[in-house]
Amino acid sequence: MNEKNFLSNLLTENTLSTLLEDTTKERFLEEEKRFEILQQIEGEEEEEEEEIRLRTEKRKQRVLLHQQNFNLPKTDQKGTHFKDKLRKEENSFTENNNNTNNNNNSNNKKNEKKENEKESKKLSNEGFLQLLGKITEYKLPENYQTKEKEERTTKKSKEQLEMDKMCVFEINLALELTEELLIKEEKIEKGLQNMATLYKNKKKNQKMASDYIMQASVSSNQIKLFKKQLLRNLVWIKFGSEAIDSKYAIAIDSVNETKDSYISFNENDLINVFERKKGRLKKNDWIGQINGKTGKFNPRHVHLIKSKIIDEIFDKQNKKIKSPVPKIPKKINWKYLNILEIDCEEVARQITIREFEVYEKLNFTEFLQQSWNKKKLFTRAPNIRYMISRFNELSFWCCTMILGAEKLVQRAMAVEYFIQFALHLRKFNNFNCLMAVVSALKSNPLQRLKHTFGDISLESEEHLKDLDELLNSENAFKNYRRALLEAYMEGKSAIPFIGIHLTDLTFLDDTSDTFEKNGDYSRKKMETMSKAIMSILKYQTRNYNFVPILELQKYFKDYPALESEALYELSLKREPRGVEYKNLI
């Protein structure tokens, strides 16, 4: 029996190890493929700037077309598409224009330049017609009956069809305009941010710049909403409302109806849609349910959810942000993992991903009434307490990683590794982990190792000084607060260090009374408290775009570390009191 058990154990261990190796190999192959694709995408994105330049010229041509096409050729009844014809005409139109221009200027310019121009214009055409192409290529669901289609087409008069075509044309023009407006407003935002960074030392200009940035962002959001509505109208005209597979809708406007048969609702309400009809007349109003009431409502005030077409288009437009390539050596033993072999930038990325998951769960109500400190209210603030415990574990983990090395050279190397690691954390604006690492380097068991800190290179020593200035406690963490604000102004993602904000909240809670003499809630206190809380939570919407690696994520779920007293004893072992430098080597 013993032999059998032994054999079975051996077998399982071997198979497990082989399996692990295989899975890692496969994963790496997949990742390499992904990176190749990513690099290809990078190459494509550089070409987009040329498209933007040529877009204005193209728009002028389209306006000319618009003037010509009031006498558009009528479409055949078989359903050859209006847009295909339009495309052909456009291409022929542009080519003709190019030819005429070329003929006029052929004596002056060389042939190579003209060819380049042609190619670039063709490319721009292709890029521009992506939107239209996706809408035309959209396949209807199988349940969509063909008979109804024919009936509808017959029901529509020719005037209506022409009107639809003109609507499509105009909407496309409007879409182009919105894209240009968006680009302009992004430029305005960038300029204002630069202004803010220039004048950051003076109070008034900073406030003004921040106000302008807020206005610019609001207007850009409005343009995006307008764009969505335009796309919705396009889909509406092409396929009717039934092409969109959805049951729920969000209200864009607030509507108060006096009739009993109609529903009244506010902004951002969810409506359960029962029946959808085609057309914009009052007869064809939709039927839906909200708060237990059923009735009609006008679909203009509503935006459908889960519409496949719109989501696909928007996802592909918004995927401009690249995710960086992970740095991992190809030969690594995942079973017995030594973190110091992996590049410190990659470790910093993985920790920020893990930390952001914790930070994302923080809720508004946890910060009220100092509930993270009181034993009665521990259940109210579980996420804050979990974040604090992780903070302590990280700093103790850093200490153990440094003190784990027996030789002096290895310890110095580990200290340099963690300083670089902290610099990367600063780059990602992950202030919570940065504070933990710097406090670990400044803690008692590490601070008394004078020989190891003497062996560090001068550069890393200066880096440590800079980090110490940033997180210095003078003037109520002025430098840290300024760095956090800068990250917000530049639109970067960040994780704030909670502890400082928690002290602000305790003082605010203690200084002013919650009730006034009348018995009302004091409005001043509520405003200041909400400001202080929002300064913590306003970075929750900005995700990091790093690629998570499963093995490292598992490793950082719980930091393996010793406790503070054991760490102090260990440091006494490594460098006893009054030891000379010769004896350590």
Under the rule (CB under 8 A), what is the footprint of another protein?
Answer: 203, 370, 372-374, 385, 388-389, 391-392, 395-396, 435-436, 439-440, 442-444, 447, 473, 475-478, 481, 499-500, 502-508, 510-512, 516, 522, 524, 528, 564
CB of 215 to another protein, least distance (A): 20
| C-beta closer to another protein: residue 393 or 490 | 393
Residue with tokens 């069809």: 161
Query: Shortest Cβ distance from residue 11 to another protein (Å)?
Result: 45
Amino acid at 298: N
User: In terms of DSSP H, where are the helices of 476-563?
Assistant: 478-489, 498-511, 523-537, 550-555
Judged by CB, which is closer to another protein: 374, or 450?
A: 374
- Minimum Å gap between C-beta 503 and another protein is 4
Between 263 and 500, CB nearer to another protein: 500
* Rounded Cα–Cα distance for residues 550 and 81 (Å): 49
Q: Which segments of 367-443 are extended strands (E)?
A: none
Rg (CA), the chain: 32
Token pair in block for residue 22: 């295989």
Give 165 or 463: the residue with its C-beta nearer to another protein: 463
- The CB-of-579 to another protein minimum distance in angstroms stands at 18
Pick between residue 136 and residue 392 the one whose CB is nearest to another protein.
392
Instruction: Map residue 111 onto helix, strand or coil.
Output: helix
Measured from the CB atom, is 7 or 214 closer to another protein? Answer: 214
User: 444 is written with which tokens?
Assistant: 């008692």
Tell me the C-alpha distance between 453 and 23, whole Å.
41
Nearer to another protein, 25 or 202 (CB): 202
Contacts 24+ apart (CB under 8 A), 46-55: 47/123, 48/127, 50/120, 50/123, 50/124, 51/123, 51/124, 51/127, 51/128, 52/183, 54/120, 54/121, 54/124, 55/124, 55/128, 55/176, 55/179, 55/180
- The residue assigned the tokens 């956090």 is 484
- Residue (404 or 499) nearer to another protein, CB: 499
Q: What is the phi/psi pair of residue 251, to 5°? A: -80, 130
Structure tokens that stand for 433 in this block: 């982990």
Distance CA 412, CA 443 (A): 16
In the block, tokens 């690099």 appear at 39
d(CA 277, CA 296): 11
Reading the block at residue 17, the tokens are 């190890």
CB 456 within 8 A of CB 416: yes
To another protein, the closest distance from the beta carbon of 557 in angstroms equals 19
Smallest separation, CB 444 to another protein (Å): 5
Nearer to another protein, 55 or 448 (CB): 448
The HSE-up count of residue 382 (CA atoms within 13 Å, CB side) is 2
SS (H, E, C) 551-573: HHHHHCCCCCCCCHHHHHHHHHH
Other CB atoms within 10 A of residue 107 CB? 6
Give the pair of three-digit tokens for residue 361.
């769960």
Residues across the chain: 585
By C-beta, is 120 or 371 nearer to another protein? 371
Beta carbon of residue 511, minimum distance to another protein (angstroms, whole number):
5
Compute the least distance from the CB of residue 53 to another protein, in Å. Answer: 42
CA distances from 12 to 5, 116, 319 (A): 10, 64, 44
User: How far is Cα 459 from Cα 257, in angstroms, rounded to an integer?
Assistant: 71
Pairwise CA distance, residues 1 & 3, whole Å: 5
For another protein, the closer CB: 255 or 440: 440
Q: For another protein, which is the closer residue by CB, 364 or 515?
A: 515
User: Smallest distance, Å, CB 350 to another protein?
Assistant: 21
Of 166 and 508, nearer to another protein (C-beta) is 508
Task: Please state the closest distance from residue 385 (CB atom) to another protein, in A.
Answer: 7
Give strand pairing partners of 270.
Answer: 250
Report in angstroms how near the CB of residue 499 gets to another protein at its nearest: 5
Min dist. Cβ of residue 257 to another protein (A): 45
CB of 490 to another protein, least distance (A): 18
CA dist 559 → 124, 398, 419, 445 (Å): 52, 9, 19, 18
